[in-house]
Structure formats: structure tokens, C-alpha cells
Amino acid sequence: MRPELARRVLVLALVCASVLVPHDGAHAGMGSLYTDLVCPVIGDLPGEFDFATRFVGLVNCDRLCLDAGFVCRRAVDDAASCQLAFVNDWIASDSRIDCNGLTGSLLGDCKAGWAVDKKFWQASVKQSRFVGRFGCANLIGKCATSCSGH
Amino acid sequence: MTRAPLPLRLLPLCFATLLALAPLFARAGTAPDPNDPNSPLGPGDKIPCFDAAQVPASLSLQAGDPNDPNSVGFFSHLPDCATLCKKAGASCARFVKRAVACELRFADARASFKTRTDCEGLRGAALTFCVTDNKIEDAHIVQRDAASGKLADALGGCAKRADDCTGLCNAP
């Protein structure tokens, strides 16, 4: 497999892992800066919250639902920010090794390849953030419905 | 008919008072659960943060199989190996701090929501009593201490990994 293709597959696998695989799974021997994602898995976050029926009967039920949703959204945004920082560090380090010793157009191609991977990975994180925020908004909706007794 | 002596007449009142205060005494004897099983935000053992203690272990800094004794350092073939190892350690430390900050923020959020749900509508002394009675602040402190307690060890872990990495810089 071409190194560039191998790298893309690796990045894609990491992104998929960040969404699907629990973060305690190890990928030892990958030969990268980190063996595993060191940020919360965005797709899991709305599932960590369970406030849909917790405020029923309280005077400020709707307000509490909204604020709890903000806590959820904040967690999603923080996780996305963490993952974007992770992408930066990971790519900076691995590209440094991968492009080491190259000069001229080869170095340019190497760096350009990593820049594409980085953009792709960043876009995936931002997409996960969008889905996570939607999950939090969904929780607010369910919670508000519980408040009104429907 | 003669009236019973005063202490005897007060006995039922004393029993009733003790009975009413019994749950308070029972709660006073138990330490707050750091997982806060009744958190209004969600299941007690789930928090939306990465475990800071796991960050140093995720820092690879080794090329190939880490169980291989002949394995070389991740940056060992690079001229600025030591600098890169140091940067990797700094990266690890940043993720540790992020994780701890996340746990601290969530502990604050849990305490805030617990107060707003369990003590809704209360003000002043009644609110203070409710927060104390429900051990909200105690649980808050336990959760914050648990999060802060991870910081030093995890940062130490990052520094050690970076040092190990630097140690492999001049390996053959």
C-alpha cells in the first residue's frame, strides 16, 4: 500500500474509532505519537446525560432542561476542541517523522499530503460536533416535553 | 386523676423529634459518593470527560511494538529528537490539564443542578441548610478533590514518558 494511502486509511480509522470505539481500547504498536485518542468520544457524550425526566414537577423545569442541555453542548464543544488539538499534535508529530530527510518537491508533496489529511480529519471532528450538538438539542426537546406532561 | 410528671409528658414529643431527625443522622454517617448516583444530569458513574490518568499511557513515543526490547524511540532518528520529545511531553500535559479541567467543571455543574433541583425555591438559611442536609457541597468537594488529585500523577507520567523518549534519542 502506498504510504499516502496507508496514512489516509490510518487517519480514517482513527476518526471512526473516535466515534465508534470506547476510548479505553488500546492500539499498541501503531508507531504514532499517541496510541489512542485522549479526548472524550463526541458520539458518546449525549448518552452520558440523562435528564429528560429529572426535572418533572419542578417550577423551573423548562429552564433546567435548557441549562442541562447547555452543559451537554459545552461537553460536546470541549471534546471537539480537544480532538482538534489532538489532530494538530498528532499530524505535526507524525508528519515531521514521515517527511524527515525529504527535500524539494518531495518534501512539498509530503507536507501537502499531510495537510489534506489534517483538513479531512478536522472536518470529521466538526461533523461529529454537529451531530453531538444535535444530540444535546434532542435531549432538551425530550426534557421540555416531559415538563409539559405530554 | 393526677397529671403525669413533666418528663413523662414530654417523652412522646422527644420520640417524635428523634423519629423526624433519624434520616438526618443516618445521612450524616455516610460519606458522599463521588459518583453522585442521584445526579440530576445523568447516571452517576458517567462523566463527559476523558480520564486524565489514562493520558500518559496513551502517549506512544515508541516506534514499532512497545513490548519489543529492541524498539527504538519515536524520534530517535531525528536531529532535534530531544526537542520533539519535550514537545510530546508538553502535548501530553495539555491533554491532562484539559481532562482535569473538564472533571472540575462537571463537578461544579453537578453541584449546581443538585442544588437547583433538591433545594428549589429556597433562600438564605433554608437554602444553606438544604445544601448541607443533602451533602451537596460535601459531594462537590469530594468530586473536585478526586479530579484535582489526578493532576500531579498524570503530569508526572507525561514528564516521565518525555524523559524516557529523550533517553532513547541517542540509542543506536
pTM of the model: 0.78
List, in order, residues 6 or more apart from B112 with CB less than 8 Å away.
none
| 3-state DSSP assignment of residue A34 | strand
A94 with A33: CB under 8 angstroms? Answer: yes
Give A-chain residues touching B58 at CB under 8 angstroms.
26, 34-38
| Strongest mean pLDDT among B36-40, B59-63, B89-93 | B89-93
B82 with B169: CB under 8 angstroms? Answer: yes
B49 CB within 8 Å of a chain A CB: yes
Nearest to B149 by CA among B52, B67, B73: B52
- B116: which 3 cell numbers? 437547583
pLDDT in tens, A97-143: 899 999 999 999 999 999 999 999 999 999 999 999 999 999 999 99
List, in order, residues 6 or more apart from B25 with CB less than 8 Å away.
none
| Cα(A111)–Cα(A97) distance, integer angstroms | 11
pLDDT at A122: 97
B91 CB within 8 Å of a chain A CB: yes
Residue whose grid cell is 508533496: A109
Nearest to B117 among A23, A58, A97 (CB): A58
What is the band of B12 on the pLDDT scale with cuts at 50, 70, 90? Answer: low
Interface pTM (ipTM) of the complex? 0.79
Do A71 and B116 make contact, defined as CB atoms within 8 angstroms? no
Do A93 and B49 make contact, defined as CB atoms within 8 angstroms? no
Give A-chain residues touching B97 at CB under 8 angstroms.
none
Give A-chain residues touching B47 at CB under 8 angstroms.
48
pLDDT at B65: 58
